[in-house]
Amino acid sequence: MAYLDHNATSPLRPEARAAMERAFSIGGNPSSVHRAGRAARAMVEDARETIAKIAGSRASEVIFTSGGTEANALALHGAVVGAAGQEHRIARLLVVSTAHDSVRAVAEMLAESAPGLRLSFVPVTGDGLIDPSALRMLLINGKGRALVSLLFVNNETGAIENIETLAKLIRAEAQDSLIHVDCVAAGCSPPRFADWNIDYLTLSAHKIGGPQGAGALIACEDAPLVPLVPGHQENRRRGGTENLGGIAGFAAALNALDAQRAGEQARIAALRDDFENRLRPIVPGVVIFGERTPRAANTSCFAVPGLPAETVLIALDLDGVCVSSGAACSSGKVGASHVLAAMGVPENRARCALRVSLGWSSTGEDIEAALNSLERLLARHSALAAA
């Protein structure tokens, strides 16, 4: 099998598996005071230190969650509810129009349930990046404190935002604003919490070769935050017994990524570029979305003109090649991607969008398998059209 869907989930790294096995051998609850509990607590805190060091935050700012979806929900809901009791409550919620559904859904729920909260979606350019002038106008024309949710790397196109520049713009135009950055799809691109001058940052383990079911919210100590689940764990910011194995695997995967970052990013970028360069002669008129803008090294989102995404997905799957659609899938049905729609891509082209995403286990053989499968599919399609 050629697995080319790392943006959906990346296979478990051996370093993460080994760390999880060590965690499972402890068998204690991190909240217990006996020897096994203390060993479990030490493992949790070591993981917290590792993630904080790599992400550029304090260990006390790292809150472990069940994944990126919960972390995003905790950031937005926790900020809005937490600030409600302060002198300056949040009156505006600004969300990038290409945000992941886990952000969009919470934002829309908050806009319906929180009195006086106004939700605005920030437009993007044709390359999928925030239009700074549009963001500035939303900031200066609105009234009240703002919570702005940004996306570091788009999981569909790989487009990379300049968070540092956007954060400076937000701080300049709305000084009491709060800033959240979704870094779940960051992959090989390093998030830098302190350098960006932001308030909340979300991460997920299974996008980088860690286990599913583990993630983190990094939140400034002075940023408002009310827990979604009350409890004494995670400094009373996220209740429930810590997922010891998941947390250990998360930290080990992030540590492995960080140690190999420069060389691995170059290796994966070379694979992605080789795929796209060889794709062009195979697929006449192929469209590669966001190719003119900085992209994550591992992501290629493209359209095969005239062939619906589901047709290509099925054909590749029958050949043992796993890729994804550039569309949002729900209950087995494929719909047009809100990301591509926000970029101004016509629906008929968006419905042909596919995504190849690479990771630590990707090889040249995977690229070869995908290109060969696409070439066979296009040959059959051409033969049928000519018949």
The per-residue DSSP string of 184-246 comes to TT-TTSPP-HHHHT-SEEEEESTTTTS-TT-EEEEE-TTS----SS-SSHHHHTS-S---HHH
Stated as kind and residue range, the H or E segment containing 119 is: strand 118-122
For residue 320 the two structure tokens come to 């043992």
What CA–CA distance (Å, rounded) separates 32 from 79? 30
What CA–CA distance (Å, rounded) separates 380 from 374? 10
Going by C-alpha positions, the residue among 233, 217, 215, 216 that lies closest to residue 225 is: 217
Catalytic residue, from 183, 301, 329, 352: name it. Answer: 329
What CA–CA distance (Å, rounded) separates 305 from 299? 19
With the CA atoms of 181, 187, 190 and 195 taken in that order, what torsion angle do they form, in degrees rounded to the nearest 10? 0
For residue 1 the two structure tokens come to 């099998």
Residue 382 CB: number of other CB atoms within 10 A? 11
Q: Residue 329 catalytic?
A: yes
- Residues with a catalytic annotation lie at 329
